[in-house]
C-alpha cells in the first residue's frame, strides 16, 4: 500500500477494439484519455513518481498495464497474458521494465494475467481464471518465493474476468471484495469489507499511499470505507468499464 513509483500506459485509439465480455458500446478514446489523465494525476498527488509510457496502437488493451507484469520488491516479472491479442504486451513492455525496475525476470511458461494477482505484505494470491492457468502459477511460484513471498493459489469464480476485478487490498490486514468472491473463503485470515449490493464494480479499488482510490458512483461502498477510517478518493472509470477494466488495471505500482 506504500509506493514510490507507478508505471502507466496511455490508452491507444485502438482501445475501441478492447476485449469485453458484454458489449455495451465502444469506449470513446478522447474520454478515456481524460479519465486516464485524472487517474495519473491522482496517483501523482500522493507524492509518487508516475511514468506514463506511450500508447501502443497494436495492442488495444495495453492501457491495462497491470496484466503483462508484476513488480515485487522493485523487481519486475514479465507475465504471459492469457488472451491471444494481449500475449505480445509483455515483450513490448519489457524494455521499460529494464529501465525502471531493479531487475526483470521472465515467466517461462503458462499463462498469468496480473489482474489475477493480489499481493499483501507477505503473500501473493493468484487466481485461476480463464486467463491464468495452473502451468503459469506453477512457473510463478519459485520466482515469487525467491523474492521472499508466499504464493497461494486461489480460484477466480468462472463468471469473473480476473481475481482482482472483485477484490483489492486496503491495508496489510484488510481486503475489499464483492460478497460472491468473499463467500469462496479465499480471504480467511483477512478482515473483509464487502462492497454494497449493486456496487460490485467498486471492488477493483487501489490503495495507493494515503488514499483508497474508488470507482465513482458507488456511494454506499464509499461510505463504508470512510466510516472504517479510509480516505476515499473517487475516480471516473466509465470508459475503462466498457472494456472490463478498472482502477487497479491501469498501473504497475512499486
Ligand atoms: C481484457 O479483457 O484483458 C481487458 N479488456 C481488460 C483488462 C482488465 N485488467 C484487469 O482487470 N487487470
Average pLDDT, the chain: 97
Cβ(153) to ligand 1 under 6 A? Answer: no
What does DSSP assign to residue 217? S
Active site residue 249: yes
Cell numbers representing residue 109 in the block: 511458461
Instruction: Give the side-chain half-sphere CA count within 13 A for 201.
Output: 19
pLDDT(45) > 90: yes
Cα–Cα distance measured from residue 34 to residue 21, given in angstroms and rounded to the nearest whole number: 24
pLDDT(122) > 90: no
Percent of the chain with pLDDT over 90: 97
Strand partners, 35: none
Per-residue pLDDT tens for 53-68?
Answer: 999 999 999 999 999 9
Q: Alpha-carbon torsion 67, 73, 76, 77, what sign? A: negative
Provide the pLDDT for residue 206: 98
3: three-class secondary structure by DSSP: coil
Active site residue 8: no
Mean pLDDT of 89-101: 98
DSSP codes joined into one string, 118-133: EE-SSEEEEEE-SS--
Residue the block writes with cell 488472451: 83
Cβ(96) to ligand 1 under 6 A? Answer: no
Cβ(61) to ligand 1 under 6 A? Answer: yes
Q: What is the pTM of this model?
A: 0.97
Which CATH architecture describes the domain 5-253? 5-stranded Propeller (3.75)
Provide the pLDDT for residue 209: 97
Provide the pLDDT for residue 199: 98
Cβ(66) to ligand 1 under 6 A? Answer: yes
Provide the pLDDT for residue 241: 98
Output the CA–CA distances (angstroms, integers) from residue 32 to 11, 26, 38, in the order listed: 7, 11, 10
Q: Hey, which of 27, 68, 161 would you mutate to test ligand 1's pocket, going by the most ligand atoms within 8 Å of its Cβ? A: 161
Cell numbers representing residue 106 in the block: 521472465
Cβ(89) to ligand 1 under 6 A? Answer: no
Say if residues 155 and 162 touch (Cβ distance below 8 Å). Answer: no
Instruction: Give residue 227 CA to ligand 1 midpoint distance, Å.
Output: 30
Per-residue pLDDT tens for 212-253?
Answer: 999 999 999 999 999 999 999 999 999 999 999 999 999 999
Per-residue pLDDT tens for 191-204?
Answer: 999 999 999 999 99
**Ligand 1 atom closest to the CA of 245, numbered from 1:** 8
pLDDT(148) > 90: yes
Q: Name the burial class of residue 65, with classes exposed (0-12), middle (13-18) and buried (19+) by CB atoms within 10 angstroms of its CB.
A: buried
**Ligand 1 atom closest to the CA of 165, numbered from 1:** 11
- Domain boundaries defined on the chain: 5-253
167: three-class secondary structure by DSSP: strand
H or E element: which one contains 53? strand 49-53
Instruction: Give residue 245 CA to ligand 1 midpoint distance, Å.
Output: 5
Instruction: Give residue 64 CA to ligand 1 midpoint distance, Å.
Output: 6
* Phi, psi of 70, rounded to the nearest 5 degrees: -135, 135
Per the residue annotation, which of 36, 162, 186, 218 is the catalytic one? 162
Amino acid at each position: 500500500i506504500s509506493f514510490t513509483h507507478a508505471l502507466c500506459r496511455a490508452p491507444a485509439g485502438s482501445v475501441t477494439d478492447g476485449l469485453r465480455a458484454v458489449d455495451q458500446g465502444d469506449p470513446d478514446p478522447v474520454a478515456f484519455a481524460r479519465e486516464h489523465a485524472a487517474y495519473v494525476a491522482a496517483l501523482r498527488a500522493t507524492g509518487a513518481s508516475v511514468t506514463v509510457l506511450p500508447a501502443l496502437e497494436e495492442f488495444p488493451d495495453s492501457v491495462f498495464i497491470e496484466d503483462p507484469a508484476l513488480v515485487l520488491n522493485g523487481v519486475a516479472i514479465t507475465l504471459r497474458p492469457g488472451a491471444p491479442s494481449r500475449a505480445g504486451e509483455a515483450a513490448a513492455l519489457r524494455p521499460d521494465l529494464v529501465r525502471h525496475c531493479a531487475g526483470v525476470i521472465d515467466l517461462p511458461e503458462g499463462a498469468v494475467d496480473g489482474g489475477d494477482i493480489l499481493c499483501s505484505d507477505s503473500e501473493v494470491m493468484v487466481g485461476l481464471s480463464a486467463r491464468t492457468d495452473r502451468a503459469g502459477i506453477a512457473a510463478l511460484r519459485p520466482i515469487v518465493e525467491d523474492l521472499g513471498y508466499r504464493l497461494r493459489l486461489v480460484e477466480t469464480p468462472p463468471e469473473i474476468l480476473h481475481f482482482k476485478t472483485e477484490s483489492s487490498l486496503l491495508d496489510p490486514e484488510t481486503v475489499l471484495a464483492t460478497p460472491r468472491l468473499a463467500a469462496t473463503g479465499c480471504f480467511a485470515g483477512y478482515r473483509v469489507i464487502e462492497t454494497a449490493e449493486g456496487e460490485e464494480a467498486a471492488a477493483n479499488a487501489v490503495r495507493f499511499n494515503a488514499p483508497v482510490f474508488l470507482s465513482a458512483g458507488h456511494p454506499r461502498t464509499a461510505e463504508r470505507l470512510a466510516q472504517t477510517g479510509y480516505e476515499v478518493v473517487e475516480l471516473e472509470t466509465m470508459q475503462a468499464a466498457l472494456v472490463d477494466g478498472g482502477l487497479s488495471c491501469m498501473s504497475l505500482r512499486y
